[in-house]
Amino acid sequence: MYPKTTSSYPMLFLYFIYRNVAVGLVSAGLAEVIPHRSDEPKSVAYLELQKAQEKAKKAKKGIHGKEVPEEIVDYSLGLGDISPSVMIQLQNFLKNQKRRGVVDYVLSGQRLKVYLPERNCIIPVNLQHIQCDAYHAVIPKYQTKTGADALKYTNQRLFQKDIELEVAEFVDQNNRNPIWIGKVWVDGKDVALELLEQGLARIFVPPSFLNRGGRSKASGIPDAYAEAEAVAKKKNWTQEREEEKKKNDLTGHEKTVTVCHVDSAVRFWVNVDGSSELEKLEAEMARVPRQNPGTIRPGKIVAALYDGLYCRAKVLKPNPKDPSQWHVLFVDYGNRTWISHKDMTSLPQKLSLGQWPPLAHSCQLAALRAPSFNTVHFNISGEKFAELALPSAPKSENEKSLAKELKIKVILDDYGKKWYVILLDQNTNINEYLVKSGYARFDQKAKETPQELLRLEDAFTKEYLRTVQKLNEEALQARIGLWEIGDASTDEEDLF
């Protein structure tokens, strides 16, 4: 079978070996079936093609009639010198009508070339309302797994298939990259909706609509699309989180750490990878250029200038009295301070938390609470803990403070947000020491402890919980430390 009068489009011949297009062409009388000898290789649809030809001959269609067949035009190559009247006819044919087509080629999850048998032309089509990750076979920058998966899905669904197409819009950029935007159905199913359901596409709102109040009704996004996207996102997110948690869950693990900051007798921050990682980061931070950080808002990660050095900081909240001052958390150390807007700069991509996770991890001594905040014991116990956990201060200016290596045993890893731990210095269990000495108390009512932790069933945790409860009772009996004024637990509950 060879198509008539397509000499100027040699590539098209390749497309026409596809069964549907071939049959379509032969039926329309636009092509002839090449007679084969019985031992020659031939199209799998040879019989079907011959039948189609017989029919077409009887009906005197195309080359079998008197009319000269039209040339097949591929509009994806540009509009060139297509006459305006031909274009108007084509647009009228397509506009707001479901039309029959055959998918000739799939370029990405959302982009196709569609052959329209009734018009004998090929048009480039973009699925309406959605966007898939770009996928480019050669350029690595445009190769994401989701992009590849989307392309694979659309290919499986649509390649060489009969479809229905409803065009909503035509975009023509100076006759160069014409594109028809619309919906595509295969076997009665909307393919864009399927892609959203599979989590392989996002809803796309043209920028012009974004300015007019976002994804409102004005943009015409079907409710089913929005719902499908939301469900897929939630599924994706939960899955990712579970995977992340499984991969990084430290529950039951021991780690050697240095304590880098103390918030209270039971809350503190640790560095895990020794000092080398921090030194590498600090060397990079010293080279961060000054740049406008854009709008500052809570949650934003910036580089904040402190003591002559930029440190990675998470913006917490503005000072109500002076909006140029922001409370920030230094994510690699765990300490906080107020920083002026002018001392913030944007963080280069390679130093983002995604690329280089925070070096300070938040910890809490498992199932323990500090004395109430507004009692003198809060400070006393905090200082005691700092003395036990922090590196000792250097004795002279030339001396560096000695890193103090401690061990943590993670009792519960709260989704990577916080580690609930036992802190060990050589053979001293610091948790037990603090409770025994009245510097900390057992958090029986789970005010600061996940319920889940108190319900853990492993022998180690159960033994630990039994021990701190017993030590707590003994310290209370002996009126040690925070218990010196007796059992304050009744009024204390109100204080916290």
Ligand X SMILES: *[C@@H]1O[C@H](CO)[C@@H](O)[C@H](O)[C@H]1NC(C)=O
Q: Which residues bind ligand X (CB under 6 A)?
A: 146, 199, 232-233, 236, 240, 306-307, 330, 333, 335, 337, 376, 379
Nearer to ligand X, 51 or 215 (CB): 215
- Smallest gap from Cβ 480 to ligand X, in A, equals 19
CB 389 within 8 A of CB 259: yes
Nearer to ligand X, 313 or 430 (CB): 313
Nearer to ligand X, 13 or 338 (CB): 338
- Smallest gap from Cβ 335 to ligand X, in A, equals 4
Nearer to ligand X, 18 or 330 (CB): 330
- Smallest gap from Cβ 359 to ligand X, in A, equals 11
Nearer to ligand X, 93 or 306 (CB): 306
Q: Using alpha carbons only, give the angle 64, 116, 67 rounded to the nearest 5 degrees.
A: 25
Nearer to ligand X, 75 or 330 (CB): 330
Nearer to ligand X, 310 or 333 (CB): 333
For the chain, the straight-line distance linking the first and the last C-alpha, in angstroms and rounded, comes to 85
Report d(CA 366, CA 419) in Å as an integer.
Answer: 8
- Smallest gap from Cβ 236 to ligand X, in A, equals 4
CB 440 within 8 A of CB 429: no
Single-letter amino acid, residue 377? H
CA-based torsion, 225, 227, 230, 234: positive or negative: negative
- Other CB atoms within 10 Å distance of the CB of residue 348: 15
Q: Which two tokens stand for residue 15?
A: 């497309």
- Other CB atoms within 10 Å distance of the CB of residue 289: 9
- Smallest gap from Cβ 266 to ligand X, in A, equals 16
Is beta strand 179-186 parallel, antiparallel or unpaired with respect to 325-330? Answer: unpaired
Report d(CA 448, CA 107) in Å as an integer.
Answer: 54
- Smallest gap from Cβ 278 to ligand X, in A, equals 9
Q: Is 175 left (phi over 0), alpha (psi -120 to 50) or beta?
A: left
- Smallest gap from Cβ 293 to ligand X, in A, equals 18
- Smallest gap from Cβ 285 to ligand X, in A, equals 11
CB 301 within 8 A of CB 331: yes
Nearer to ligand X, 330 or 464 (CB): 330
- Smallest gap from Cβ 306 to ligand X, in A, equals 5
- Exposed / middle / buried, residue 48 (Cβ in 10 Å: 0-12, 13-18, 19+): middle
Measured CA to CA in angstroms, residue 99 lies from 84, 87, 164, 167, 183 at distances of: 21, 16, 5, 9, 11
The partner residues of 408 in beta bridges, in order of sequence, read 255, 423
- Smallest gap from Cβ 465 to ligand X, in A, equals 30
Listed in order, strand segments (DSSP E) in 128-252 are 130-131, 162-171, 179-186, 189-190, 202-203
Nearer to ligand X, 170 or 306 (CB): 306
Nearer to ligand X, 14 or 376 (CB): 376
DSSP 3-state of 155: helix
Longest dimension (CA), the chain: 113
The partner residues of 382 in beta bridges, in order of sequence, read none
Helix (H) or strand (E) run with residue 490 in it: helix 489-495
Nearer to ligand X, 6 or 381 (CB): 381
- Other CB atoms within 10 Å distance of the CB of residue 280: 13
- Smallest gap from Cβ 197 to ligand X, in A, equals 10
